[in-house]
Amino acid sequence: MDFALDAETEAFRTEVRAFLDEHLPPEVEERLYLTGESHDDAFARALGERGWIASEWGPEERPLDPTHAHVLEAELAKAEAPFYAVSTGAMVGRVVAASGSEELRSEVLPGIASGEVTIALGMTEPEAGSDVAAVQTRARPVDGGWVIDGQKMFTTNGHAADHVFLLVRTDPASRRHRGLTTFLVPLDRPGVDVQAVRTISGERTNITYYADVFVEDRWRISEVGDGWRSLMLALQDEHSAPFSPHLARLLEATEQWAATPGVDGAVPLDRPDVRRRLARAATELEVAQLLEARTTWMEANGEVPLAEGPMSKLFSTEAIVRGAEDLTALVGPDALRSRTDPTAVVGGRIEHTLRFSLGTTIYAGTSEVQRNIIAQHRCGLPRA
Amino acid sequence: MDLGLSDEQRQLVDSFTGLLAKASTPEHVRAAEPGGVDQALWATLRDTGAVTMGVAEDHGGWGASLLDLALVAEPLGRACAPAPVIETQVAARLLAAIGTPVALDALGPALAGDHLVTMAVRPPQGGVAALTPAGAVCDAVIVLDAERLLLVPVSDRNRHPVANLADAPLADIDLSPSSSGGGAVELAAGPSAVERYETALDEWLALTAASLVGIGSAALHLGCAYAAERTAFGAPIGTFQGVAHPLADDATHLDGARLLAHKAAWALDSGDARGRELAAMAFAFASRTAEATTYDAVHVHGGYGFMLEYDVQLHYRRARGWARVWGDAEAADARAAEARY
């Protein structure tokens, strides 16, 4: 057993940090925060130039292995870098590579790998969230292609991306997992309407509407009726998405607050309760990082982290919520000052994490869904 | 990074798990209450090398790492083993680390099994080492008295066994020369004595954390097995999310606690600067996790959970008792903070 990263992986981490210093200057960070955008073209292309977007399906002879990919994602998340559209693109890239037509593969894969083509996810609907098999958006066959009707919720980057990955029902008589098909739909097609949805963290997402949207058959990804399997393939990547960097950022900000004398000259870190509560948050961070590292380590060793992936997602995101609640309470009234206010404590990072924390236990599989998976696969409990 | 066990480590865990499955069943654990020691089990564990393995080879041991000992501590906790393994391991390693003729004189008989040496995990107060682990069965105790590390002989004259929540072999030990017979020897003095003691305490915290993971894991197993089989309202209760979700959280926290206990032991082994901090963190997290898990496992059993006849209560009581002889999770938070800031 060895808990240290090897020198080569540490060197890679240093390389990623240098990359972030170069490509994510404070003014870009500030603009992204104020607009709530989670994509930046220049940044995405710089990632693509390094060969850091595509996995085994891309043009690189030696794509990043799970360990390096984890380090990269953790550093990007820690820096709040705009890489969400890139990561959703990479998710879909894997699915297109596995089951898309030759035509579709050559049309989009090089662009995804270079950071020039971005893809939003269209799975959730107003009436289908955790129960994604309940989707109602439909595609019906017409001459030369398909016509799509319906709506999708939380199509983050739907206003900025080139395509949306759509899970739709192609067999109107089908139920649940059967009769679903996946498509890649260009977002500039007539009939697509994108409406902004603002979230408590300031992040912009969207609701997207599809009214008689025509796509040629080449935009179909899965076999007709086999969409569930390609959805599962897309979601595989979500297991290892690191959330602990957000907790690390919160802890660092609160430690910075604690080490700074207040207006009365007292240093919060001299107080025993401040020390204990910070240590407790640091302990949770340690556990979150270890659970994430274990998921990555299993993947790197060819094991499928069936329960372990959900465990790391569940623990890290719940730890962010616990940490944000406790540390904002610890900082006291001043933690109310927002990131946009010049008087904010530590640049408002503490207040912002409280806002941001809420979504993390919802998206990419709610905590309740994760617990169901763990109960079944680890605890051996029967399904309801 | 490598989170896998070596073949040797796997064999080590398997051999202790197999031994405990035979010699530390719930029947053995109950029969050893309230005194907290099954002498046959303790003799078997000693003969297997449970104490000797942790001492460096040039002091007559096998040179096992603290991580190896942590791997063994988990099955000990899982079986609620009524044997004073962790305290005696830590005390033996402390004597070997001090390495003076006086310390090595005490180490020899301790490794031979003739003399049981334990360590008081808290400084004495008012001349008493209160609730000393293994105090009820030891022949000598290592205590830190101000800046002096002392080895104090223990006999029925200065030992006051304490009936306790965990049915552990605890005793209040009177350290005064008049009651101990005056045979106390000084092992070390000054700041280096304090540092030796604190290092031994780091080891005790990390190993106890690993044992708490074992206690919690066994309770989780009992809770899940019961939830899968017991029906209510026409369905196994494990299908109810109100029952299943706390158990899923416990499983998650136990995995995290195990990883953290191993990391702490690894850090202490490798001289990592964060060793002390990580050991305290591991104890804090494992302690909270074992408490929550054993609570949930008892609760899942309904009324059976608080019947002495059901095994889950054995784990509930030890999850608290094995840890709190030193302190609670908040005390460990404070220790982690002292190391961190």
Cα separation, A302 vs A90, whole angstroms: 20
Distance from CA of B258 to the nearest CA of A (A): 9
Q: What is the mean pLDDT of chain B?
A: 97
* B181 lies in some domain: no
pLDDT average, residue stretch A354-372: 95
* B203 lies in some domain: yes
Q: β-pairing, A204-216 with A145-152?
A: antiparallel
Domain with CATH 1.20.140.10 in chain A: 242-377
CATH architecture, domain defined by A242-377: Up-down Bundle (1.20)
A372 touches chain B (CB under 8 A): yes
Cα A18 off chain centre by = 23
- Comparing alpha-carbon positions, the chain A residue that sits nearest to B252 is A311
Q: Please write the tens of the pLDDT for every residue from A50-69.
A: 999 998 899 888 899 999 99
pLDDT average, residue stretch A210-217: 98
- pLDDT range class, residue B270, cuts 50, 70, 90: very high
Distance from CA of A279 to the nearest CA of B (A): 5
User: B149-160 burial, b for 16+ CB within 10 Å, e for fewer?
Assistant: bbbbbbeeebbe
pLDDT average, residue stretch A232-260: 89
Residues A298, A256: contact at Cβ < 8 Å?
A: no
Instruction: Look at B266 and A1 and tell me if their CB atoms are within 8 Å.
Output: yes
| pLDDT at position B33 over 70 | yes
- pLDDT range class, residue A37, cuts 50, 70, 90: confident
Q: Please write the tens of the pLDDT for every residue from B143-202.
A: 999 999 999 999 999 999 999 999 999 999 999 988 888 889 999 999 999 999 999 999
Hey, what CATH topology would domain A120-225 get?
Butyryl-CoA Dehydrogenase, subunit A; domain 2 (2.40.110)
Residues A20, A185: contact at Cβ < 8 Å?
A: no
pLDDT at position A35 is 87
- Comparing alpha-carbon positions, the chain A residue that sits nearest to B238 is A381
Domain with CATH 1.10.540.10 in chain A: 7-118
pLDDT average, residue stretch B43-57: 96
pLDDT at position A233 is 87
- Comparing alpha-carbon positions, the chain A residue that sits nearest to B3 is A1
Distance from CA of B316 to the nearest CA of A (A): 19
Task: Choose the mutation target among A1, A254, A255, A370 for the interface with B, i.e. most B CBs under 10 Å.
Answer: A1
A384 touches chain B (CB under 8 A): yes
Residue with tokens 């499955």: B21
| pLDDT at position B268 over 90 | yes
Residues B136, B118: contact at Cβ < 8 Å?
A: no
Cα separation, A345 vs B285, whole angstroms: 29
* B148 lies in some domain: no
pLDDT at position B189 is 97
Radius of gyration of chain B from Cα atoms?
20
- Sign of the four-CA dihedral A296, A302, A308, A314: positive
What residue numbers bound the domain in which B268 lies? 192-340
Instruction: Look at A301 and B4 and tell me if their CB atoms are within 8 Å.
Output: yes
pLDDT average, residue stretch B205-209: 98
- What 3-state DSSP class applies to B326? coil
Q: β-pairing, B140-145 with B185-189?
A: unpaired
pLDDT at position A234 is 85
Residue with tokens 């679903």: A180
B281 touches chain A (CB under 8 A): yes
User: Is the complex ipTM more than 0.95?
Assistant: yes
| A·B CB contacts under 8 A | 149
Instruction: Look at B241 and A3 and tell me if their CB atoms are within 8 Å.
Output: no
Q: What percent of chain A has pLDDT over 70?
A: 99
Give A197's contacts (C-beta < 8 A, 6+ positions apart): A153, A154, A204, A205, A206, A207
Number of other residues whose CB lies within 10 A of the CB of residue B56: 14
pLDDT at position A238 is 67
Number of other residues whose CB lies within 10 A of the CB of residue A9: 16
A7-118: in CATH 3.20.20.70: no
| pLDDT at position B119 over 90 | yes
pLDDT at position A175 is 86
Cα separation, A371 vs A369, whole angstroms: 5
Using CB atoms within 10 A of its CB, is residue B101 exposed (0-12), middle (13-18) or buried (19+)? Answer: exposed
* B279 lies in some domain: yes
- pLDDT range class, residue B48, cuts 50, 70, 90: very high
Rounded to the nearest 10 degrees, the angle between the axes of helix B7-23 and helix B66-78 is: 30
* B226 lies in some domain: yes
Q: What is the CATH number of the domain that holds B227?
A: 1.20.140.10
- Comparing alpha-carbon positions, the chain B residue that sits nearest to A4 is B1
Instruction: Look at B1 and A380 and tell me if their CB atoms are within 8 Å.
Output: no
- Name the B residues in 50-69 with CB < 8 Å from any A CB: 67
Instruction: Look at B245 and A371 and tell me if their CB atoms are within 8 Å.
Output: yes
Tell me which H or E stretch contains A97: helix A84-99
- pLDDT range class, residue A36, cuts 50, 70, 90: confident
B337 touches chain A (CB under 8 A): yes
Instruction: Look at B337 and A381 and tell me if their CB atoms are within 8 Å.
Output: no
- pLDDT range class, residue B70, cuts 50, 70, 90: very high
E-strand ranges in chain A read: 119-122, 138-142, 145-152, 163-169, 180-186, 192-198, 204-216
- Counting the structural domains of chain B, the total is 1
Q: Please write the tens of the pLDDT for every residue from A128-153.
A: 999 999 999 999 999 999 999 999 99
pLDDT at position A239 is 62
- What 3-state DSSP class applies to B189? strand
Task: Choose the mutation target among A371, A373, A381 for the interface with B, i.e. most B CBs under 10 Å.
Answer: A381
Q: Please write the tens of the pLDDT for every residue from B87-100.
A: 999 999 999 999 99
Chain B residues within 8 A of A307 when measuring between CB atoms: 251
Instruction: Find the CB nearest A3 among B224, B236, B266.
Output: B266
| pLDDT at position B261 over 80 | yes
A193 touches chain B (CB under 8 A): no
pLDDT average, residue stretch A199-205: 92
pLDDT average, residue stretch A157-180: 94
| pLDDT at position A240 over 80 | no
Distance from CA of B301 to the nearest CA of A (A): 15
